[in-house]
Amino acid sequence: MIVASFANVLVWAIWVLAAFACVGTGIAVISFSNPFYSALCLIGNLASLAVLYLLLSAEFVAAAQVLVYAGAVMVMFLFVIAYLGGRADAPWAGGPSWQAVGAIAASAALFVEIVVVIGLKTSGRLSDSAKLHSAYGSPAEIGRLFLTDNLLAFEITSIVLLVAAVGGVILGSHSREHPVEGVGQ
Partner 1 sequence: MRGPDVVWYLGVAGFLFCTGALGVLIRRSPLIVLLSLEIMLNGANLALIAFSRHYGRGDGQIFALAVMAVAASEVVVGLGLIVAIARRRLDLDVDKLSTLRG
Footprint on residues 116-145 left by partner 1 (CB under 8 A): 118, 122, 126-133, 136-137, 141-142, 145
What does the alpha-carbon distance between residue 150 and residue 91 come to, in Å, rounded to a whole number?
A: 42
- Interface residue with partner 1 among 2, 96, 120, 172 (CB under 8 A) is 172
Residue (126 or 176) nearer to partner 1, CB: 126
Task: Tell me the number of residues near partner 1 by CB under 8 A.
Answer: 91
Asked if residue 147 binds partner 1 (CB under 8 A), the reply is no
- Interface residue with partner 1 among 2, 44, 51, 80 (CB under 8 A) is 80
Asked if residue 75 binds partner 1 (CB under 8 A), the reply is no
What does the alpha-carbon distance between residue 50 and residue 61 come to, in Å, rounded to a whole number?
A: 8
DSSP labels for 53-118? HHHTT-HHHHHHIIIIIIIIIHHHHHHHHHHHT-----TT-SS-HHHHHHHHHHHHHHHHHHHHHH
Nearest distance from C-beta of residue 2 to partner 1, angstroms = 14
Q: Are 41 and 29 in contact (CB under 8 A)?
A: yes
- Interface residue with partner 1 among 1, 76, 82, 98 (CB under 8 A) is 76
Expressed in angstroms, the distance from the first to the final Cα of the chain is: 75
**Which residues have C-beta within 8 Å of that of residue 52, sequence separation ≥ 6?**
15, 18, 19, 22
Nearest distance from C-beta of residue 134 to partner 1, angstroms = 12
Nearest distance from C-beta of residue 15 to partner 1, angstroms = 5
What does the alpha-carbon distance between residue 107 and residue 169 come to, in Å, rounded to a whole number?
A: 35
Nearest distance from C-beta of residue 47 to partner 1, angstroms = 11
- Interface residue with partner 1 among 73, 98, 134, 176 (CB under 8 A) is 73
Query: Could you say which residues in the range 12-71 bind partner 1, by CB under 8 A?
Result: 12, 14-15, 19, 22-23, 26-27, 29-30, 35, 38-39, 42, 45-46, 49, 52-53, 55-58, 60-61, 64-65, 68-69
**Which residues have C-beta within 8 Å of that of residue 81, sequence separation ≥ 6?**
35, 36, 39
